[in-house]
Homo-oligomer: A and B are copies of this chain.
């Protein structure tokens, strides 16, 4: 599978709203997930831990809509853009605009690194 093919298949699952399935199918067991923030969730390692973050996120955010664009491919990496309309538990409804930079090795995603936008 080429990086382009993996990126297309992974992104199609995201576009179909199958976020859990995308991770199960393409994350390495040693996946590293990096958020642009300080604190406990800045860098998480390993499939179980990263799946835990996903479960926490879905439990604590009501998702009204998600628009997924991409993938954008270069060598062993690709980028996906997410535009979300969400309400954090106990918070105000907000627009989130971010991109994920994914690194591929041996038909698996070994790193995901998220970048936050400020609109635009």
Contacts and interface: CB of A to CB of B under 8 A. Distances in A.
Interface of A: 8, 11, 15, 34, 36, 68-75, 77-79, 81, 97-99, 101, 113-118, 120
A115 B36 contact: no
8 contacts: A69-B117, A70-B117, A70-B120, A71-B120, A72-B97, A72-B99, A73-B115, A74-B101
Contacts of A34: 74
Contact of A99 (B8, B75, B99): B99
A71 B114 contact: no
Of A34, A36, A68, A98, which is in contact with the most chain B CB atoms at under 10 Å from its CB? Answer: A36
Contacts of A97: 72
